[in-house]
Structure 1
Amino acid sequence: MDRRAFLRKPATTLTTSAAAVLERPQPSGTPTGDDETVSRYANTKLPTAARSTAGLSPYVGPWGYAQAAHLLRRCLFGPTRTEITTAASQNLVQVINTLLTAPPAPAPPLNVSATDTSVAIGQTWVAQPFDQNFEGVRRTSLRSWWMGQLLGQGPSLVEKMTLFWHNHFVIELGDINDARYGYQYCALLRQHALGNIQRLTEDITVAPAMLRYLNGNQSTATAPNENYGRELLELFTVGKGPLIGPGNYTTYTEDDVQAAARVLTGWRDNATTQAGYFTASRHSTTTKLFSSAFQNTTITNQGDQEYKALIALIFAQVETARFLCRKLYRWFVYYVIDATAEAQVIQPLAQLLMQNNYNVAPVLRTLLSSEHFFDAVNMGCVIKSPLDFTVGTARQLQIAFPASTSLTGQYAMWNYLNSVTNLQQQYLGDPPNVAGWPAYWQTPQYYEMWINAVTLPRRNQFTDLMISTNGYTTSGATIKIDPIELVLTLPPATAADPNLLIAELARLLTPIELTTNQLTFLNDTLLPGLPDFEWTVEWQEYLAAPTNATKKAAVRTKLQALLRQLMGLAEYHLS
């Protein structure tokens, strides 16, 4: 499998316009023309041949740096060299145990703007009354804080799974227009990130952010709103199967949507208590009949507990488990689910999920410990999302951010990274619509949507800026890659040998072993026209006189050129 092929596909391989195969209508404001969201070179069809015959048997193959790096690249945002080498020194079971251990909940976001006069700078605003005048800066604070959680993640799956659930149970911060609700939503996703999916679904159903986002707060007995009921079935649980009749999607029908909407009537959000609450007079007390897809089950009036009966009915369906396992697979493994993967991975994972009453941790343990996950075809095959790319660059190349003692500068830099990923078409807190980011559902392009005529230059501009001497400055703080400090963290013998140095940086930054020609090219970048010993001499001279500006500039310039080329490789965009 040639994982490098995507960025060099010839135009002659395309037979139809990518736009012609979009399954869902694009939301208003979707970039068009020069702001393309689908590259001309992206997939026009998916392969049908089995990619892997490996199943869910426990992986018993070699365990070392390469395998640890693969696991952590999928589970963390840009694993550092220290995190990878630590994992490689342990066994797979130990690493998985650590990944499945949730850290304590983080402290809430803080006010860093003089605009918000409700609290002092450095204090949290999450319990303050809503004020439209403060909403903009509070929302920026929330997004910045969330970015800070990604940058400061520990060796746990919690942050990666929090983002997974954000892409699954979508809300848009800009639409709900209450950052306090947004914070509660983030806290809820993080609380249940490695927990019980059915319980998370119950809680998100009556969370004020979701009630507002999908209009559940407007749903009454006389005018049931179908928005949440429809998305609960189509996007959050059983999924839409093939259309087999008018209004019949195999896994549910239009009548089921209407019945679900009646079940969910009566819920509202309270901006003072920041909670969802039930009003009996607004609730439909009729008996709700569901189709044969749900065994013709009826749900009678149960007041404020009725929504739980609906969710229990939905989670009793095996297709709910299959739908969720397919989404987990595309998040952690690859977007192609062929017939072999469906039979050998998805179906048994779904059974495991149901056997464990929808606790997600056993499924993650089995998938991430499996022969299938460590099959060579599933290593280095994922195109990094903008968040993976940007946060990964910051973490792997050890960019130093302002400390909490410089709170304004810290939040400003976190906000800057959000602006960077927004330009790359992934904005934390605001997926483009209720379906989430198209790279996780849009067939046949999937991850290839992350790379297009807009986003690829934006990625390169970010890495070029970070490796430049000046870096990026705002609010009195500067962030940039310090290549000398990075190399000083390597073993002395590795740092002093140009070929060992290049190999070590390459295995950290790229998931695919580079070719001999690529390594030779990188050597020529570090030492243009010079023999290898010149690097050893220059590096040792710098170590002997680290305050000498000339000697420091000599090695820094060479390392900047090397890292710029490494981050410009197609492989750097893969995970």
Structure 2
Amino acid sequence: MDRRSFLRKNTDVLTAPALAAAPLPARPTAADDDEPISKFANKQLPTTARSTAGLAPYTGTWGYTQAAHLLRRSLFGPTRTEIVAAAGRTLTQVLNDLLTAPAAPAPPLNVSATDTSVAVGQTWVTQAFDQNFEGVRRSSLRAWWLGQMLGQTMSLAEKMTLFWHNHFVVELGDINDARFGYQYAALLRQHALGNIKQLAKDVTVNPAMLRYLNGNQSTAGAPNENYGRELLELFTVGKGPLIGAGNYTTYTEADVQAAARVLTGWRDSAANLNSYYTASRHDTTTKQFSAAFGSASIANGGDQEYKALIDLIFAQPETARFLCRKLYRWFVYYVIDATTEQNVIEPLAQLLIQNGYNVGPVLRTLLSSEHFFDSVNMGCVIKSPIDFTLTVARQLQITFPPASSVVAQYGMWDYLNGITNLQQQVVGDPPNVAGWAAYWQTPQYYEIWINAVTLPRRNQFTDQMISTNGYTRNGAKINIDALALVLALPAATASDANLLIAELTRLLFPIPLTANQLAYLNDVLLPGLPDFEWTDEWTQYLANPTNVAKKTAVTTKLQALLRSMMGLAEYHLS
């Protein structure tokens, strides 16, 4: 497979300025593809003034609004309980939790009778490879991964695991071994909040990556350049300004070739479920790098030589800058103007270098900064399909089957993966080696998530979840229990129409609604009726909760309210 074909679809991006365009290439668009980019999306980067604040610690008001902003960017769909709890603590205490890695989860389980290698409810991750079982194992892996995000703790670990998946990309369908896919996912989670340089070393010889970028085929006589090229362009230093055919200020074509020779000799073993080094396949000559790397050379180092390559690359300051820009676009916003580059990116890069490429201090500094909490950076991100879908599930308290019903549980996780796939994002399979285009494709960026294909899919999902019927699979049903959601609110809030709408608004939207929007929602809840009618109906229901008519009356109104709220444009923002 030619994983570089997408580069030839938009060659103008290749020479765009690094600061303004984050120069990564465009995703391919076949004639029969679903619409990838709305015709209404940006034609140029927004010129709206951005924050001039830097990384000084935020010392302003700390309450529900600030806690919600932090958790929306750090978690997938923070619940009201999580936001209220965070608002009652200090910012430092909340960040301490967010930057604490949880214990590694148990591996994915078999939930299909097709896979006869293990019983249903047991793990398949160490079983022998069998092409007949690959499809159901891969589905199990995707479902499990989605389940980890859905059941996240108060930690950045899952958000960062997905970040690294979008950065050190592999596609599960291409590697064709779900066991290697699990090892890859476990590696990302292990280093999610840890050392980026060590992650780069480990992923370089990870079996899934060796397969995906053909490192397992690279020999002294025929060095394969795929991984060496992506390591430089997409994973580490990135492209600086173009200075010649295939040459950039940050690396040259000769550096790609030298890196490829360093990486020769590695293979993967399906039988032993690992990677291994074969000395006879390794290029033992000295590898010479360009002036971009200080004209350094790497002598033969056998199976340790790849580590010297990673050390050389991470010795370049531009590697830290490149990584910090990607973190910024993941957590804050996609426009990085000259002020942000100077006040945020550069000091973050220096901090990353000073901390030996441990990502924790960088995340703590960014997420506790005046810049992060500037109002201009609130509500400016369009939720990814995964974030959107999990936010619906978590914030609106959909109840999923328990672990004791493993087939039903995995079935619902698999269903959510299907929903995100329809919205053009599925865990385990970014569209190409550059990752999801919303994080690099200039000038559209996040706007790519919303188009004529994906917006109806989002609305169909929320409409289905708010309906009484919901979705049923394997004898289990999931839907939004609007009544239970409101019953969990303070009694005085639940019984007052305007307080109820206000409370749901601050949970579901990252920016305030207008007076007209609030009046519209009030009319949805109480069409043509005075506010006290809600108080009366709610009180009557509480007095007689088993009365079907009274229960139906309030449930129907709440479902209509939530459906309308989820239909607003602001609901797609984070």
> TM-score interval w.r.t. the shorter chain?
over 0.9
Q: In 1, are the aligned partners of 2:385 and 2:420 still within 8 Å (CA)?
A: yes
Structure 1 equivalent of residue 433 of structure 2: 434
Shift of 1:242: 1.2
For residues 387-536 of structure 1, what are the structure 2 equivalents within 5 Å? 387-536=386-535
AA in 2 matched with 1:239: G
Provide the C-alpha distance between the structure 2 equivalents of 1:119 and 1:133, rounded to a whole number of angstroms: 14
Give per-residue Cα distances to partners, 1:33-90, cap 9 Å, x unaligned: 6821111111111135651110000000000000000000000000000000000000
Find the residue that maps to 1:380 and give its secondary structure. coil
- Compute the displacement of 1:26 (Å): 5.6
Structure 2 distance, partners of 1:123, 1:36, is 40
Compared with structure 1, are the counterparts of its residues 54 and 560 closer, same or farther at alpha carbon in structure 2 (3 Å cutoff)? Answer: same
The residue type equivalent to 2:552 in the other structure is: A
Within 5 Å, which residues of 2 pair with 1:269-308?
269-308=268-307
1:416-464 alpha-carbon deviations (Å, 9 max, x no partner): 0000000000011000000000000000000000000000000000000
Kindly state the Cα deviation for residue 549 of structure 1 after the two structures are TM-superposed: 0.8
| Equivalent runs, 1:25-40 vs 2, <5 Å | 30=29, 32=31, 35-40=34-39
- 1:225-264 equivalences in 2 (<5 Å): 225-264=224-263
One-letter code aligned to 2:225: E
CA gap of 1:400–1:32, structure 2 versus 1, over 3 A, is farther
Kindly provide the amino acid, as one letter, of the partner of residue 456 in structure 1. Answer: L
What SS is found at the alignment partner of 1:244? strand
Corresponding letter in the other structure for 1:460: N
Q: Indicate the SS of the match to 1:35.
A: coil
Structure 1 pair 64–25 and aligned structure 2 pair: CA distance change class (3 A): closer
How far does residue 248 in structure 1 lie from its aligned partner after superposition?
Answer: 1.4
Output the CA distance in 2 between the equivalents of 1:48 and 1:316.
Answer: 34
- Whether the 8 Å contact between 1:34 and 1:453 is mirrored in structure 2 is no
Deviations 1:112-171, CA, capped at 9 Å, x for gaps: 000000000000000000000000000000000011001100110000000000000000
Residue equivalent to 1:44: 43
Determine the structure 2 residue equivalent to 1:15. Answer: none
Q: 1:287 is matched by which residue type in structure 2?
A: T
Cross-structure match for 2:377: 378
- 1:286-313: per-residue Cα shift (whole Å, max 9, x none)? 1100000000000000000000000000
Are the counterparts in 2 of residues 31 and 37 from structure 1 also a CA contact under 8 Å?
A: no
Q: 1:114 to 1:197 in 2, by over 3 A?
A: same
Q: Give the secondary structure class of the aligned counterpart of 1:373.
A: helix
Distance 1:130 1:34, change over 3 A: closer
Match of 1:72 in 2: 71
SS of the residue 2:404 aligns to = helix
Alignment pair present for 1:142 and 2:103: no
CA distance in 2, matches of 1:418, 1:268: 31
Cα RMSD between the aligned structures? 1.3
Distance 1:540 1:19 in 2: 61
- What's 1:105 paired with? 104
How far 1:241 moved relative to its partner? 1.1
TM-score by length of 2: 0.96
Please state whether the residue corresponding to 1:187 is helix, strand or coil.
helix
Q: What CA deviation, in whole Å up to 9, does each residue of 1:260-292 have, x standing for no partner?
A: 000000000011221111000000001100000
Query: Which 5+ residue runs of structure 2 have no aligned equivalent?
Result: 1-8, 15-23
Segment drifting more, 352-361 vs 535-544: 535-544
Q: For 1:322 and 1:19, how far apart are their aligned partners in 2?
A: 24
Q: Deviations over 1:474-508 (max 9, x none)?
A: 11111000000000110000000000000000100
Partners of 2:288 and 2:439 in 1: CA distance = 33
1:179 maps to amino acid: A
Report if aligned partners of 1:50, 1:341 keep a CA contact under 8 Å in 2. Answer: no
Return closer, same or farther for 1:22/1:529 CA change in 2, 3 Å cut-off.
farther
| Structure 2: distance between partners of 1:31 and 1:83 | 43
Query: Partner residue of 1:565?
Result: 564
Secondary structure, aligned partner of 1:268: strand
- Find the aligned partners of 1:38 and 1:68 in 2 and give their Cα distance: 32
Q: Given the superposition, is the C-alpha separation of residues 33 and 19 from structure 1 closer, same or farther in structure 2, using an over 3 Å criterion?
A: farther
> Is the contact made by 1:50 and 1:338 (CA closer than 8 Å) also made in structure 2?
no
Cα deviation for residue 32 of structure 1 reads: 4.5
- Any conservation in 1 of the 2:26–2:441 contact (CA below 8 Å)? no
Structure-2 residue corresponding to 1:224: 223
1:190 Cα deviation after fit:
0.2
Aligned length: 557
Which aligned runs of 4 or more in structure 1 are off by greater than 2 angstroms? 18-28, 30-35, 47-50
TM-superposition CA deviations, 1:231-282 (whole Å, max 9, x none): 0000000001111123211100000000000000000001122111100000
User: 2:26 touches 2:437 (CA, 8 Å); kept in 1?
Assistant: no
Q: Residue 555 and residue 49 in structure 1: after superposition, are their counterparts in 2 closer, same or farther (change >3 A)? A: closer
Q: Distance in 2 between matches of 1:34 and 1:434?
A: 18
* Structure 1 position 27, deviation (Å): 5.8
What does 1:12-27 correspond to in 2, within 5 Å? none
Partner of 1:9: none
Distance 1:436 1:245 in 2: 26
Residue type of the partner of 1:228?
A: Y
Q: Could you list the per-position Cα deviations for residues 502-522 of structure 1 after superposition, in whole angstroms to 9, with x for gaps in the alignment? A: 000010000010111100000
- Secondary structure of the 2:371 match is coil
C-alpha distance in 2, partners of 1:25/1:361? 29
**Residue deviations 1:374-412, cap 9 Å, x none?**
001000000000000000100000000111111111100
The answer to whether 1:203 aligns with 2:202 is: yes
Does 1:116 find its partner at 2:115?
yes
Give the aligned partner of residue 173 of structure 1: 172
> Residues of 2 paired with 1:76 and 1:101: CA distance?
13
CA contact (8 A) 1:50 1:340 kept: no
Q: TM-score, normalised by structure 1?
A: 0.95
